[in-house]
Structure 1
Amino acid sequence: MKEFISRKATKIRLLDFKSLPMRTFHITWFSFFICFFGWFGIAPLMAVVREELQLTKEQIGSTIIASVAITVLARLAIGWLCDRIGPRITYTYLLILGAIPVMCIGLSNSFEAFLLFRLVIGVTGASFVITQYHASAMFAPNVVGTANATTAGWGNLGGGVTQMIMPLLFSGFIALGFSDNLSWRYAMILPGIVMIVMGIIYYRYTKDTPEGNFKTLKKEKDIEASASKTSHKRENTFLLAVKDIRVWALFLIYGACFGIELTINNIGAIYYKDLFDLDLKTAGLIAGLFGLMNLFARSLGGYFGDKSGIKWGLKGRILFLFTVLLLEGITLMAFSQIRMLPMAIVVMVLFSLCVQMAEGATFSIVPFIHKKAVGAVSGIVGAGGNVGAVLAGFLFRSEGISYSYALLILGICVTVISLFSFLVRFSEKEEKIARREIKASLETLLPVKN
């Protein structure tokens, strides 16, 4: 057990860019960040696109659904691919191929073309699964929740930064003399270029596991000893995850937190613009605050999940998840009813804190569900976030439901779903194994006695 743990990092050293686990940590979160940036890059510019393409509220709702719908299938497939060929090659292809529709969305001249590009771009959202898989492969149980939460949180930060940066890029092209119609199109080229660069970096500077790449390990017939191994019945790992009710409970839970975050990323800027009569840049800056909470909020969820696990076992992780998810539902309902801008911003920040802590808490539990099917479990749970966003999208698509009322309905749903946390149970055997792993991880941190 100690030998297994020693191959993984037991500490997160943010200034370490040389060791394989920390180098992978930084490359994977930034790759997710730029994928997220490209995924939602067009969202803060929707007010401009709406005018040019003359989109109705129903059509805007359809594009919101499209942007997250295909990610459901993509995340399932990506989780399976990570188990099969490893996260390094999977991420490389996703980054480079995903850059193509991001840069080409500017070719849209009709609702149908724009809808198609938003649909295809949604595949880049599967990058989350690879990030979680790779962090789980590189970090020991005592910090895996924090590592997962931080890499995902800093990646999700792209959703907040894009709300601020894209209107500025748009304004920059306007200042250079380009028209509104051309400026939003040119602005989308930048994230696509960075995605291609990160694809090359990912391939050159990461490995699948602390022991090496899947391909090399297979040649050495040592894959069964690697930290990210799947069982010898590789074809059954997905089925193993599908049959477990805990996976589906976490699927619903992640839909109630990450699904809500995706929804706010899509409608945040236009919500503030229309409800409070703000200009595009101001609305984008305020909406961006929601995503900026990822700088630390999701990490806090993983950190407190780890601490709860160390003190109270796996049950402690579950109780913490329930608490923050319940608070998320309450703060979302409150946010939906506020009509004073300063108060709306304050409550939105509190709501965002709960959302992202719930996300971090969820993936502090995921690595403990099935060690032989981490990719499959991560893929299914991650897909739950997108299913939640798709279902929420139908509320915002309806002409008869205001954005505020739709948010109120979502707040009620989140509150109810928080109870599903108690369906995630672990046997005494699983609790003992987790305690032994935690103990082994902590022992590697103790100074060696002479």
Structure 2
Amino acid sequence: MSSSPSPSPTAPNKNKLNIFSFSGKNKILHLGWMAFFFTFFVWFNHAPFLSAIGESLNLTKDQVKTLLILNVALTIPARVIIGMLTDRFGPRLVYTAILATGAIPCLTFAFAQDYNTLALSRFLLGFVGAGFVVGIRLMSDWFPANELGTAEGIYGGWGNFGSAAAALLLPTVSIAAAAIFGGEEGWRYATATSGVVMMLYSVIFYKMVRDTPKGATYFKPKKSGAMMVTSSGDFWLMMVFKLPMYLALALLAWKLSPAGVSLLSQASVNIVYIALVVLYVYEFISSYRFNKEVFTTPVPKAHRYDFKQVGILNILYFATFGSELAVVSMLPLFYQETFNLSIVMAGVLASSYAFMNLMSRPGGGWLSDKFGRKITLLILTAGLAIGYLLMGVVDSSWPIALALLITMFCSFFVQAGEGAVFAVIPLIKRSMTGQFAGMTGAYGNVGSVVYLTVLSLVSYQVFFFVIAATAVIGFLALFLLKEPEGVIIEEMPDGSFAQIQVS
């Protein structure tokens, strides 16, 4: 095997990470987190208005809770697809397309006059949530390993704050819109405005972003069409980890059946079940054909990676981001019902959970860069489990201030854990970062579907205890994680090989 010096993404851009700079890689960091911010702002623009939407369209509580599940459902397959598209076409084009087209279902949701339109629009808006994956690949091509965890954490944390910003700002926008346009449906104008702003930002992103620094190579997978594995054991493990994504969609279909909110007939739900089985079998066959060489021929060392690393991170993101999505969706309603608060006040208090993203997710990435990926994840996952146990015992007898402190304590470990997970993803195999981020990101949505389904069946307290239990499972799985070290090797377009330092 020949080798060549790594075309390090920072070679043409030697300045260090500096959040006060808007040049070079720092400009890309800021443009990236702002893109993520707008997608999350739009994705969760319904959360502060759940009760108002329910009153406006005369919805039942089950119908309102189903909107929460629909909001995260499409993101499961979308993140996998977007990850593959990003590796193939680059972050600039893919992110621009998401930002521009996401405004369409946002507007149809804002002005829906019946539950079916509302539900379909919310389901389609799940595609906007796939934008996160694009930025993970973008940051990995602009920052070196010793800054990557911090950069990914800032990107994810500051972008994730979009959900808190929605809870803080949109109720006020709604009140202003109602005063200007009259009526009691200011939520419609508030949510529509967020979609228009996101669409306008797509133009700025397209004009100002590059996929890589000038002179650096954008590594692509050797083959496209499915996820590449490098051993027969990894193939079987990959197919096991793909199964929960289909099961989560089946769970959603069940929730929409007559056994749930009766949005779909039993016949329609049965068709969905059959379609999911057919799709899984099709993906199994396609993945086997794509990777059949690994059953007969050893994969060259330059192309190998350990899929177990991805699988463990999937479990952790199920518990971290999956719980965040679920909690961000339900927390305004939790505060409103538990402490008998107004919509605006409940939204302000609930925003504290996502507000921690500004520091905790970058903090998780920084801790990983500084002290090691594995030990950081172990500590943060343990803290996550304790945090949700504490949230499970909060009730109306508690002082609101103490409930708020527990919420912020829990959210720190959740979001720092997310930052630590994506401090590892780009260090497994650079050319497949988008696909790994897509699958791991999808597991976050699988988690949210599972948790929100649990919420629709049990009390708030049991809901928090279930999340804590899954965090314990993630903690145990972490003992099998290998600390990234040495270099990863990628093939250049001319057939030579480049070494990329990961420790």
Q: CA deviation at 1:333?
A: 1.1
Residue 173 (structure 1) aligned with residue 177 (structure 2): yes
Q: Which residue of 2 aligns with 1:396?
A: 455
Deviations 1:273-315 (A, max 9, x none): 001100111000000111111111100000000112xxxxxxx
Find the partner of 2:105 among 87, 97, 101.
Answer: 101
Q: CA deviation at 1:178?
A: 1.8
Q: CA deviation at 1:415?
A: 2.2
| Equivalent residues of 1:330, 1:415 under 8 A apart | no
Deviations 1:111-142 (A, max 9, x none): 22211111011100011001111011110111
Per the alignment, do residues 8 and 144 of structure 1 end up closer, same or farther by CA in structure 2, a change over 3 Å counting?
farther
Distance 2:112 2:413 in 1: 37
Find the partner of 1:420 among 468, 473, 477.
Answer: 477
| Equivalent residues of 1:136, 1:144 under 8 A apart | yes
Q: Which residue of 1 aligns with 2:294?
A: none
Find the partner of 2:501 among 427, 430, 437.
Answer: 437
Q: Which residue of 1 aligns with 2:381?
A: 325
Residue 14 (structure 1) aligned with residue 19 (structure 2): yes
Q: CA deviation at 1:77?
A: 0.6
Question: Which runs of 5 or more structure 2 residues have no equivalent in the other structure?
Answer: 239-306, 489-498
Q: Which residue of 2 aligns with 1:229?
A: 219
Deviations 1:128-163 (A, max 9, x none): 001111011110111011101101110000011111
| Equivalent residues of 1:89, 1:203 under 8 A apart | yes
Q: Which residue of 1 aligns with 2:431?
A: 372
Deviations 1:363-394 (A, max 9, x none): 01111112221111111111111110011110
Per the alignment, do residues 388 and 8 of structure 1 end up closer, same or farther by CA in structure 2, a change over 3 Å counting?
farther
| Equivalent residues of 1:129, 1:375 under 8 A apart | yes
Partner letter of residue 339 of structure 2? F
| Equivalent residues of 1:93, 1:199 under 8 A apart | yes
167-176 or 259-268: bigger deviation: 167-176
Residue 294 (structure 1) aligned with residue 353 (structure 2): no
Q: Could you tell me the TM-score, scaled by structure 1's length?
A: 0.87
Q: Which residue of 1 aligns with 2:71?
A: 67
Find the partner of 1:192 among 192, 195, 198.
Answer: 195
Aligned ranges for residues 228-247 of structure 1 at < 5 Å? 228-235=218-225, 237-239=227-229, 243=238, 244-247=307-310
Q: CA deviation at 1:237?
A: 4.7
Find the partner of 2:81 among 77, 80, 83.
Answer: 77
100-109 or 115-124: bigger deviation: 100-109
Partner letter of residue 360 of structure 1? G
Per the alignment, do residues 318 and 179 of structure 1 end up closer, same or farther by CA in structure 2, a change over 3 Å counting?
same
Q: Which residue of 2 aligns with 1:263?
A: 326
Residue 202 (structure 1) aligned with residue 202 (structure 2): no
SS for the counterpart of 1:296 is helix
Q: Could you tell me the TM-score, scaled by structure 2's length?
A: 0.78
Partner letter of residue 409 of structure 1? V
Distance 1:126 1:72 in 2: 8
Q: Which has the higher helix share?
A: 1
| Equivalent residues of 1:238, 1:376 under 8 A apart | no
SS for the counterpart of 1:198 is helix
Q: CA deviation at 1:6?
A: 1.8
Distance 2:81 2:500 in 1: 32
Distance 1:406 1:45 in 2: 22
| Equivalent residues of 1:237, 1:372 under 8 A apart | no
Find the partner of 2:466 among 409, 417, 420.
Answer: 409
127-136 or 369-378: bigger deviation: 369-378
Deviations 1:15-40 (A, max 9, x none): 22132x22211111001101100000
Distance 1:128 1:231 in 2: 20
Partner letter of residue 331 of structure 2? G
| Equivalent residues of 1:9, 1:139 under 8 A apart | no
Distance 1:262 1:146 in 2: 22
Distance 1:231 1:190 in 2: 39
Identity %: 30
